[in-house]
Amino acid sequence: MCRFVRDGYLVIPAAVPMRLVAALNDDIDRVWTRPPEGLLIETFEPDDKMKYIAPELRYRPSRTKLLDLYTVSEIARRVTAAPAPMRFLATIFGDTPKAFQQLAFWRSAQQAMHKDTAYVKVDTNAMQLAATWLALEDVVPGTGEPEFYVGSHRAPDFLFGRVSKWAENFTADHERFLASLHEDAATFGHKRSSFHARAGDVLIWHADLAHGDTSITRPNATRRSLMTHFTSAADEPFYRRTTQFAEKRAENCIFVSHYADVK
Ligand SMILES: [Fe+2]
């Protein structure tokens, strides 16, 4: 816990047993080859415009993400609710964790350094947010592995439009926000570090940890991984104001989705 408070992240080695990692990789192959009703991907293929569509295998090798896999995959729910990460999240939230936005990656999305609070909206309190990243294979350097500025969650808030931690409606501030993360790192001495995980390791990060993906130097290698955003049971993602798909309660985790009932 002390390390999370100081550094803004925590690594739980072998948080998910290998047999479950293998089962999830099989299930991911299943949904790509025989897409279940209602499952969506986010893709920029084939015209560089973002869209949400049913999985199409030809798009898998690109930056495409499976969205909220836990809506259709019991194995994804078991993996997401692995005991050690859930215990940690329950401790920091003081409440049962609620999974609400999950991305399954085939390759790195090549995300620039950012803070999730700018984009991932929790209705009642922007800071009631944390994320997990599970390696579904051993990470090979040069595949866009996660990187972060250690301790960057303790930098002063960047307020979009001088009022909000959420970026939307303040597009004019966006470049300034991204630049501020590197400026803060120089000002406060945040060390840039990356995570060379083994399959089954879980990285948990704070709502305001600056993080992204390293540059890809091995363009043909995969970087299979599962990222999930969490809030607490008492809080709701902002999208629940306008969508009310059925949630699912597991013993140690609640699942809600923007796109479908959790079956
Ligand atoms: Fe993020």
Compute, in angstroms, the gap from residue 212 CA to the centroid of ligand 1. Answer: 7
Size of the chain, expressed as the number of residues it contains? 263
Domain ranges of the chain: 2-255
Compute, in angstroms, the gap from residue 165 CA to the centroid of ligand 1. Answer: 14
Confidence of residue 209 (pLDDT cuts 50, 70, 90): very high
Compute, in angstroms, the gap from residue 71 CA to the centroid of ligand 1. Answer: 21
pLDDT at residue 102 greater than cutoff 80: yes
pLDDT at residue 146 greater than cutoff 80: yes
Compute, in angstroms, the gap from residue 103 CA to the centroid of ligand 1. Answer: 10
Compute, in angstroms, the gap from residue 31 CA to the centroid of ligand 1. Answer: 24
Look at residue 2 in the predicted model and tell me its pLDDT: 86
Q: Could you read off the pLDDT of 221-234 as tens digits, one per residue?
A: 899 999 999 999 99
pLDDT at residue 1 greater than cutoff 80: no
Q: Which two tokens stand for residue 98?
A: 């609620």
pLDDT at residue 135 greater than cutoff 90: yes
Look at residue 219 in the predicted model and tell me its pLDDT: 83
Look at residue 205 in the predicted model and tell me its pLDDT: 98
pLDDT at residue 235 greater than cutoff 90: yes
Compute, in angstroms, the gap from residue 131 CA to the centroid of ligand 1. Answer: 8
Domain 2-255 CATH superfamily: q2cbj1_9rhob like domain (2.60.120.620)
Which one has a higher pLDDT value, 263 or 120? 120
Q: Could you read off the pLDDT of 44-87 as tens digits, one per residue?
A: 999 999 999 999 999 998 889 999 999 999 999 999 999 999 99
Compute, in angstroms, the gap from residue 144 CA to the centroid of ligand 1. Answer: 13
Compute, in angstroms, the gap from residue 29 CA to the centroid of ligand 1. Answer: 24
- Provide the whole-model pTM: 0.96
